[in-house]
Chains A and B, each alone.
Chain A
Amino acid sequence: MIEKMDTLLQRICVDGRLAKLAVSETGFIFDPQTGQSFTLNQTGLLALDLLKRGNSLEMTAQYMSDEYEVTMDVASSSLEAFLYQLGRYL
């Protein structure tokens, strides 16, 4: 049932789905393909920005762990959950 992490990443990041999102620095997101809008929290905004720039999951997690002073474990597991969430909406 649950999509594998790398295929998920492939689908939403590499295939350009993520790139098409209109992301505002306020955390407001608009998906031009579905007409759906979203709000991101601060960490979500940072994560999305890093992923959009083509960073790997690990690099993104590392950056977040440094920025927010949380362990790498915490950062990468919550990042995975975030990615699954994106996968549901995109």
Chain B
Amino acid sequence: MNNNHKVSVWEPPFIQPHRVGAINKFGNRGAKENVMREIFGVSIDDLVDQFGSPVFVTSEHQLRMNVRKIRRVFERRYNQVIHGWSYKTNYTGAICRILHQEGSWAEVVSAFEYEKARSLGVPGNRIIFNGPHKSKAILERAIAEGAYLQADHMDELKMIEQIASEQDRIVKIGIRINFDTGFTEPWSRFGFNLESGQANEAVKRISMSPHVRLTGLHSHIGTFIMEPRAYGEQVKTMCRFMRDLDDIDHINIDTLDIGGGFPSKNALQRVYLPPDQAVPDINEYADAVCDALVEETRYLEQSGRALPRLIIESGRAIVDDAQVLITSVVGTKRLPDGRRAAILDAGTNLLFTSYWYNHQVQMTREPGGVYEDTVLYGPLCMNIDVVRQSIQMPPLVYGDRLVVSPVGAYNNTQWLQFIEYRPNVVLVHEDTNVSVIRRAENLAVMNAQDEMPAHLSYRTMADEGSLPSGKTTREHLIRR
């Protein structure tokens, strides 16, 4: 345990003062056998050599396993389950395609996502269209193509009604409702509130329309919910509302969409225990949901009526651990307070989720030297570009490759085109062949959307000869 033997790795001489409070050399250390030389069966060095650094690496196998598992655990407990793939979690085409092959519908929340799903060949009647902003144009298309709409607010209801009457058809829709489960902070900004009577108002409005028919209820209680009982309460509330609609208004609900929000094994900041302990198993969620569902729909079963189908819109729990990011150290330093720091070629521009997770970061070579508290910075000239505020790492050197995981959810969609080009996203096939599924950006991509007004269209200040007047740039501009 002594540091007595010579460490051959050069590290600048350094003296660390001991500060009172939480001195513990074993305190935050990561496990030793944590070196990763390959990922999803492919050598990390090969991946970087071929596709550059940073690079997102996605596993087709893991993705398929995850979606099969979630469907299996719910189907084991309830008969009719539809998985709606939440596009916003990761709408890289190949990833969506894999999930559609596995039977998932598309769950989209904007015109872009709707069009993307259609362009990937998803038929309208396998698209669940959510979200607070659906323009008239896209609603017209979605209604014509038979998509399943879940309305968020009254103005949208009116618009759906208007389009349905224009197209002279009867549109079956769901409405999103929100309420307090007692376990989570209610997301009251989406949908119609149950407690205040808004939801009933929406129901009334729909039942007065000859063109719209209410057949579904939707709710989505939040994100990264670590309390399975919240879903039990959610289902109970939705079922009781469904029963009220049946008893009082004779409305038959055939679809219950419970949204998503199931967590992945990522380490949420400000949760004390590691995800292994803090995040319940997906079976616990399925139990909570299906136990409540079976219990609350027993009255239907007893009278021989059909049970509603269950839609789950899980995104994160399916894609998060199916993707990692390989990044390289481009510089190291000591901060004035004594902490080690390393600068990486990927930061919050690519890992938007570092703002709320403490992602796992693993070495790809045998570590030498003493583990110390280290800050991992991204490449941006921006103070808040921090991948990890505090992580125990051995001394890092220029060129070290690190694996950040899990990163599959929300990064390929929320990443920023800011300062840097966005890198390649690759897919490891089930036979461990690798292909690019989203090409790295380059100058041509960045410039493609730019338009240049005619008076700015000369190339550089140095191109004076090309100016129409033949005068110097400055004079030219002043004259104009």
> In the complex, A25 Cα to B6 Cα: how many Å?
12
Residues of A within 8 A of B369 (CB): 41
A43, A47, A89: the one within 8 Å of B10 (CB): A43
Given A25-B4, A68-B10, A78-B12, is A89 in contact with B370 using a C-beta cutoff of 8 Å? no
A7 adjacent to chain B (CB < 8 Å):
no
B18 on interface, CB distance cutoff 8 Å: yes
Contacts of B12 in A (CB 8 A): 43, 78, 81-82
- Are A82 and B3 in contact, with the CB atoms below 8 A? no
Q: Which residues of B contact A25 (CB under 8 A)?
A: 4
Q: How distant is B180 from chain A, measured CB to nearest CB, in Å?
A: 52
Residues of B within 8 A of A82 (CB): 12-15
Interface size class of B (residues with CB under 8 A): 10 to 19
Are A26 and B4 within 8 A (Cβ)? Answer: yes
Determine how close the nearest CB of chain A comes to the CB of B7; give it in whole angstroms.
5
A64-B15 Cα distance, complex, nearest whole Å = 16
Closest Cβ–Cβ distance, residue B367 to chain A (whole Å): 15
- In whole angstroms, what is the CA distance A53 to B7 when docked? 22
In the complex the two chains form, what is the Cα distance from A36 to B6 in whole Å?
26
Interface assignment of B2: CB less than 8 Å from any CB of chain A: yes
B13 partner residues in chain A, CB cutoff 8 A? 40-41, 43-44, 46-48, 64, 78-79, 82
The chain B residue with its CB closest to the CB of A81 is B12
Do the beta carbons of B11 and A38 come within 8 Å of each other?
no
A36 near B7 with CB under 8 A, answer: no
Residues of chain B in range 1-37 having any CB-CB distance to chain A below 8 Å? 2-4, 6-8, 10-18
- Sorting the interface of chain A by its residue count into under 10, 10 to 19, 20 to 34 or 35 or more gives 20 to 34
Cβ 8 A contact of B14, one of A26, A40, A70 = A40
CA A79 – CA B11 in complex, angstroms? 11
- State whether A26 touches B11 (Cβ < 8 A): no
Q: Decide: A89 near B17, CB < 8 A? Known: A26-B2, A26-B4.
A: yes
A8 within 8 A of B: no
- Are A89 and B15 closer than 8 Å at their CB atoms? yes
Q: Which residue of B lies closest to A37 (CB)?
A: B18
Q: Which residues of A contact B15 (CB under 8 A)?
A: 29, 38-40, 44, 48, 82, 85-86, 89
A10 on interface, CB distance cutoff 8 Å: no
CB neighbours (8 Å) of A86 from chain B are 15
Do the beta carbons of B17 and A42 come within 8 Å of each other?
A: no
Q: Which of A27, A64, A85 has the most CB of B within 10 A?
A: A85
Residues in A with CB closer than 8 Å to B16 are 38-41
Report the Cα distance A31→B384, complex, angstroms.
Answer: 37
- Residue among B7, B8, B15, B370 having the largest count of chain A Cβ atoms under 10 Å: B15
Does A38 lie within 8 Å of B4, measured CB to CB? no
Nearest-neighbour CB distance to chain A for B25, whole angstroms, equals 9
Residues from chain A with Cβ under 8 Å of B2 in the complex: 26
Q: Which one of A36, A43, A47, A68 contacts B17 once the chains associate, using CB atoms below 8 Å?
A: A36
Judge whether A41 and B10 touch: CB under 8 Å: no
Cα separation A64 to B13 with both chains bound (whole Å)? 10
Taken together as a complex, chains A and B put the C-alpha atoms of A74 and B4 apart, in Å, by: 24
Enumerate chain A residues within 8 angstroms of B18, measured Cβ to Cβ.
Answer: 36-39
Q: Which of B2, B11, B369 has the most CB of A within 10 A?
A: B11
Residues of A within 8 A of B6 (CB): 42
- Rounded to whole angstroms, the CA-CA distance of A69 and B10 in the bound complex is 8
**Extra contacts besides A47-B13, A82-B13 (12): CB < 8 Å:** A26-B4, A37-B18, A41-B11, A42-B3, A42-B7, A44-B14, A48-B13, A48-B15, A69-B10, A70-B10, A78-B13, A81-B12
Please list the residues of chain A having a beta carbon within 8 angstroms of any beta carbon in chain B: 25-27, 29, 36-44, 46-48, 64, 68-70, 74, 78-79, 81-82, 85-86, 89
Residue ranges of B at the interface with A (Cβ–Cβ < 8 Å): 2-4, 6-8, 10-18, 369-370
